[in-house]
Amino acid sequence: KEIYNLGFTKSNFTFLYLVKYFEERFGKKKVIYNKGISDPRSYKVSFKKLENIISIKRKFTINDAINEFINQE
């Protein structure tokens, strides 16, 4: 039995990156980032194990996902 992280290295974003992305995308602060909260966990994961056994390319970007989410209304 083996465990694989499913995803793409180019889609591995930090929370702060996403906050800044949303601020730039929507032109004003929509997210309040509380710098006083310390969370040492890291969600950056490696996809190398998966990339070594299959050859696939990312089909959608973060911008595609945000557009789809916004257009659901």
The identity of residue 12, as a single letter, is N
Tens of pLDDT, residues 6-41: 888 777 777 778 778 888 887 776 667 677 777 666
Q: Which residue has the tokens 């916004």?
A: 70
The length of the chain is 73
What is this structure's pTM? Answer: 0.53
47-54, long-range: CB within 8 Å, 24+ apart, which pairs? 47/5, 47/6, 47/7, 47/8, 47/9, 47/12, 48/9, 49/4, 49/5, 50/4, 50/5, 50/6, 51/9
Specify the pLDDT at position 16.
Answer: 76
pLDDT higher for 54 or 27? Answer: 54
What is the rounded CA–CA span in Å between residue 51 and residue 31? Answer: 33
